[in-house]
Copies of this chain bind each other. A is one copy, B any other.
Amino acid sequence: MKVGIVGGGAVGLLIAAYLHRMYDITLYTRRQSQAALLNKNGLCFIKGSKEKTFFIKTKHIEQSEMNEDVVFVTVKQYDLPELASSANRLQNIPTVVFLQNGMGHLPLLSRFNNRNIVLGVVEHGALKHDDRTVEHTGEGKISLAVWKGEIGEAQRLIEQSSSHFPFLFKKDWYEMLAMKLAINAVVNPLTALLRVKNGQLLEVNEYRMMMQLLFSELKDVLSLPNEQKAWENIVLVCEKTANNRSSMLKDIEQGRQTEIDAILGYIIQRGKSMNIQTPLCEFLLHAIKGMERRGKFE
């Protein structure tokens, strides 16, 4: 089976590292320089104290025809419009798996006419050291659920997945994304704002109260099917990743754009359409966007 991966970020490199033995993998990068580097020096994969180098076929996306059976799209939500508009190189792919955070990408999916559109949620810890190096910092899973059509060629990924890198099938894409969004909406903005590691949200009692206030604001907006389970999930993630800096905290620290629009921006919009007030989400959205903007000055 031919598997394509669009995007050479932490998630794209991680999937390439785990799947390259079983499938015919092609990695598509946005920058020619990254494709050249990976083809020349290989992909360096780190886990614990071990380090391995694999050679993965890598192409610059703008100069390539795609003809895979299944393609993972791992670019950030804010890069999706470009992908949809630029001659839609994905048009001949039967099954496309979108792995973006939040729900901000859902309105964009109508621009893709593929037979099967699958949504996925990544729960691995992955850290990109440089353009050819990725570290697997926490074993988790990738959940998949059908958005349009059927699971298609992605079924083989689930059946043949290994315990170190499992793919799971979920029946309800909304529940899957909403549970993950609730986690991202609570953990990411608060850790970035307070500049703390995930575990400190639980350790400092007042920060935990901030989590609860934020959660009780967004649980109604997200119509979470099981509020209690969603809250326990958030606490569990903070416990399991206590020593991690969240992706949003890292983005702020490194002056990069965050995914705040896909996360809190989506919740605020949904709240408006449901006539539910979201004062904390709005306040936090401004805070993170202001911190992003200041980062550019410093």
Contacts and interface: CB of A to CB of B under 8 A. Distances in A.
B283 A213 contact: yes
Contacts of A87: none
A287 B210 contact: yes
A191 B225 CA distance: 38
A279 B293 CA distance: 25
B194 A291 contact: yes
A206 interface: yes
Contacts of A290: 194, 204-207, 210
B286 A207 contact: yes
A252 to B, nearest CB: 11
Contacts of A89: none
B213 A293 contact: no
Interface residues of A, number: 24
A144 B41 CA distance: 74
Contacts of A293: 204-206
A238 to B, nearest CB: 14
Interface in A68-110: none
Contact of A193 (B193, B206, B282, B289): B193
Interface of A: 193-194, 196, 200, 204-207, 209-210, 213-214, 217, 279-280, 282-283, 286-287, 289-291, 293-294
